[in-house]
Amino acid sequence: MRVIIVGCGRVGSHLANALSAERHEVVVVDMNPLSFSRLSREFGGRMLTGIGFDRDILQKADVEGADALAATTDSDNVNIVVAVTAKETFKVPHVVARIYNPQAAEIYRREGIPTVTPTLWAANTMKTMIANPSLSAVATLGSGEVESVMLEIPKGLAGRKVKDFIIPGESVVGALVRRGRAELPSAEAKLELGDKLHITAVVSAVPKLEKLISH
Amino acid sequence: MLAVIVGGGRGGSYLAQDLQSQGYKVKVVDRRTDVVAKLRQEIDGEVICGDGCNPQILEQVGAEKADLVVAILHDDEDNLVVCRLAKHHFHVRRVIARVNNPRNEWLYTKAWGVDVAISQVHLTAKVIEEEIGLGELVTLLKLNRGEAALVELRLPETSPCQGKIIRDLSLPADTVLVSIVRDGKLVIPRGDTRLQAGDEVLAVSTVAAEQALKDILAGPA
């Protein structure tokens, strides 16, 4: 794949290194040439110094032949301008922008620009870790609307049924891991001490699950 | 009529006062507290401290009720974001933006929600060019995505329309003379207005008709 990465900060450089290691053709653009020092020694792509939405820079980066573009500068507005220009003007098939402002991210997502909102994601993950300690967060999905959590069944919950953790429209039980073996449990399955239950729930339902567990 | 101005620097402040004198209700948004404090002393309208690129702030300001939104921030990406939100999200009828870096002028299009882009550097360069060159057609403002433009031309001594009245010029259909400045005084052009060398003629013309207009006013090159 031919990928353009605009912004060689922590996220951009990691992304560039990872894609380059998988032998993708990578071009990294940053205003500050010193940022390129974040790239690994093995990085095999190109580096361009300049503004990500400058026409000359985009042309030098061969935007018309690119398969994907990621906008990861520390400015939401630069990322938006770069991503929208790549998608709408140069028809880059896969474009993603990092947007800190959740409201703005939502607007651009509706316009068809996929966005990553690290602020929301981090806040939701931390909230689960702090407020719901008996549930360990496995993954935060989307921009944090849905959490995948893992519950290790303590003594007090042994004998309860899987369906006790299913709240219609709010949570589903994805998998049960018993003695190292995973299965898709029926709703009526009885839980044993040490079972690991994987629950996927909307964020608002996580406190409800927590309550259920502590009772 | 409500005008929302995003960016309260010198340009924004001047524009706010100007629009107010034209009868607009004006709201100015700026995120710098010192600028906001200064603006509150300079203008009568509402001054909001916040980031105009943030959809929430634009909503608070009541952007969806605005007849006009002007983006006059110092970074082009910020102006573009304001324009796009104003046009596509808040459906503002008229969206005007300042181009800061002429290299970015190509981005100021309808797709970004921009109805009129004003490039100060461009404008200044054109004015200087005009001061130097007589008989050159100078673009002052592009209208409707560059389809037409407000253009200016100072009639040279050799102008074929010197001494003629406008009615007799057979101007192209897609052009209209807007004003004439003669010896520092404004003359509203009419069919029987007689042109003189040195007249600064302001016209609106489609791009296609520009050359014909120039040939009539200044003579073929």
Q: CB distance A77–B54 less than 8 Å? A: no
Q: Quick one: B111 and B39 in the same domain?
A: yes
Nearest to A55 among B76, B85, B106 (CB): B106
Q: Quick one: B137 and B111 in the same domain?
A: no
Residue A124: what residue type? N
Task: Write the CA distances from A90 to A18, A63, A178, A210, B97, integer angstroms.
Answer: 25, 7, 51, 48, 23
CATH number for B95: 3.40.50.720
Task: Write the CA distances from A130 to A199, A209, B216, integer angstroms.
Answer: 18, 14, 77
Phi then psi for residue B201, to 5 deg, are -100, 130
Q: Domain for residue B125, yes or no?
A: no
Q: Quick one: B150 and B113 in the same domain?
A: no
Is the Cβ of B85 closer than 8 Å to some Cβ of chain A?
Answer: yes
Measured between beta carbons, the chain A residues lying within 8 angstroms of B56 are 103
Domains and CATH numbers, chain A: 2-116 (3.40.50.720), 121-214 (3.30.70.1450)
Q: CB distance B103–A54 less than 8 Å? A: yes
* Predicted pLDDT of residue A118: 87
Q: Using 50 as the pLDDT threshold, list the residues of chain A that sit under it.
A: none
A60, A75, A77, A87, best to mutate vs chain B, most B CBs in 10 Å: A77
Measured between beta carbons, the chain B residues lying within 8 angstroms of A111 are 88
- Tell me how far apart the alpha carbons of residues A59 and B187 are, in angstroms, rounded to a whole number: 48
* Predicted pLDDT of residue A210: 83
Task: Enter the pTM of the model.
Answer: 0.68
Is the Cβ of A117 closer than 8 Å to some Cβ of chain B?
Answer: no
From B118, B153, B175, give the residue that closes a domain: B118
Q: Quick one: B94 and B23 in the same domain?
A: yes
* Predicted pLDDT of residue B154: 87
Q: Quick one: B96 and B157 in the same domain?
A: no
Q: Quick one: B150 and B183 in the same domain?
A: yes
Q: Quick one: B67 and B153 in the same domain?
A: no
Q: Domain for residue B124, yes or no?
A: no
CA-based nearest distance B64→chain A, Å:
15
Tell me the pLDDT of chain B (221 aa) as tens digits.
999 999 999 889 999 999 999 899 999 999 999 999 999 998 888 999 999 999 999 999 999 999 999 999 999 999 999 999 999 999 999 999 999 998 999 999 999 999 999 987 777 776 666 665 566 777 888 887 778 889 988 898 888 988 999 999 889 989 999 999 898 888 999 989 999 998 989 999 998 999 999 999 988 86
Kind and range of the H or E run holding B123: helix B120-132
Q: Tell me the ipTM for this assembly.
A: 0.71
Q: What domain range includes position B114?
A: 2-118
Q: Quick one: B38 and B99 in the same domain?
A: yes
**For residue A189, with 0-12 CB atoms within 10 Å meaning exposed, 13-18 middle and 19 or more buried, which class applies?**
middle
CA-based nearest distance B89→chain A, Å:
8
Q: Domain for residue B123, yes or no?
A: no
Q: What is the pLDDT of residues A177-188, one digit of tens each?
A: 999 899 999 999
Nearest to A80 among B76, B81, B111 (CB): B81
Q: Domain for residue B179, yes or no?
A: yes
Q: Quick one: B26 and B113 in the same domain?
A: yes
- Tell me how far apart the alpha carbons of residues B171 and B153 are, in angstroms, rounded to a whole number: 14
CATH number for B205: 3.30.70.1450
* Predicted pLDDT of residue A162: 94
Measured between beta carbons, the chain B residues lying within 8 angstroms of A75 are 77
Number of domains in chain B: 2
Q: Domain for residue B126, yes or no?
A: no
Q: Quick one: B67 and B156 in the same domain?
A: no
Q: Quick one: B174 and B78 in the same domain?
A: no
CA-based nearest distance A136→chain B, Å:
33
Q: Quick one: B96 and B161 in the same domain?
A: no
Nearest-CA residue of chain B relative to A103?
A: B55
